Chains A and B, each alone.
Chain A
């Protein structure tokens, strides 16, 4: 690429209209603008991460903000976005573990000599710009890179958390259809568009969303009868498998109680009615979160983390909510839940659940949990046993509210009962502590006024 060919007359402030051989001096700084891609620190205590795969190949054009690679940490697998626009010149760590701060790739300009640039830092580049004696030089270089990006007429791929069929080819879809697909985690490439020229329109996505059970396999073509379908593990799935296997090794025990939800349901009805237009309506889950957070403050031993060499008792109830997403399961955290009202909890819960489904959770949403609630009541599950979410000492499994016959002084009465099953790490806490905690949760649910 010759510089003089890409610089329109007049863009070079010092030499209006004439660009001498060698190009505008303003652009010379752009020649050495290579950005090293370094392994980021995504959360407190993160020392290293595992590169699962690169979403771009060497030589590909990348745009700032575009997903560049998938990174596995002990909490989450996420796509990491490019911080610079240019050509992915070199991938130095193709796969596997690397320490935070390691240079894992270089983004620069087409044809740039990477070997010479490796090791040169962005700071050095900034210094070069300073030497040129023009404060606008760096900005000009940015602009030049922008120009390059537009000039290359790059086809924008549709981002999908799970990658897949449609990647690489341009999929015709309306902006609305794209938004709905993004929100519901549906892969556009798997849909047949019914709009003009096969464009995927909102109706197509909605139809797919309505007809599809929430399983990652639905967007794949059905296997021919009789054949085994092999679903390659996504990195999320792999993380789930690894962490739950770890959890299974902890000596765990379970205790269960049923709570009479009559009063909680009345409270729920009242709160839902009072909820302001446009605000998320409180659910029974939010009341439960409130009850757990309040109970955790009274039973600090349950609000604990097993830290191998110690037991950490935490001052705040950071309550994780298990959320099923297309790719599997995530546990975003409502921080300091003990200080939130039920309406605030509802807003926080609506926010994290929505973002979880849109794959927009940030690392801080997943960090710092001290306790987890897993609710399968909406699926009609009466009771179940949850697997620990290490290093947390306890997790609460919540079943459906079901009308049950309950013995009363005068005979039998029908009451809405909900079964709570607490799984505990016996290394961190014992049965009596767990039982006292669960009894408090039950009391709070049966008489919400006690939470005050």
Chain B
């Protein structure tokens, strides 16, 4: 093994090519492992005969568009108010992410740049809050929102959009990501603007924001994914289809008898495909966002 072979010898080249082939084989096998449930879901969603969907499972036909194909499953899912659920999910996600970007970056900017009493304590509190998982406060939060007033005389936040949005706008980890980014921006630009008489908010909007696009994209993607996938909280705080997101909607449909697998796969596909498309378009940003969660500590 340790004998060095000439890179020009046929045996060496053969072994090297063999290794490349093996590598591709391994990677292909892994690709099959990661793709097969998604392909299976998409293919099954177009099979309109419920019996065929199930019987195809015992063979490779599960992955092939054969038999009775059509859009019937998709039509039935739209009859389940899919449009409404989709709107709810998108609406809650957009508001949570946009408001979150705004207020989390503002506090992070104050912590990274401005001088004020109590700054160190505030920073320590934010870092400590990262440790408290939402899961640990979910039940008391349920007690709390059950009794909070809202405009128009409502005495509870249950079954509303705001109960799904407001508790998730401020996020200690997002603040921390912004804070780290702002610390690394050179101060000179801001100082120049200060001399020119710009207000702090103007500096934040006109100088800091434009050069901080990467961190805004990162936080936006992380928050959007978390929001889109959120399940436990909306399960507890929404009852009807009116304000419920897709995740709870599909779970409710899944819990009904008899289980219509064709319809379920169409439903699942319609939740997954839009996100997959956005992911393919902004892949670099997604990967960068996830990578940035690892830098903490």
A binds B: no
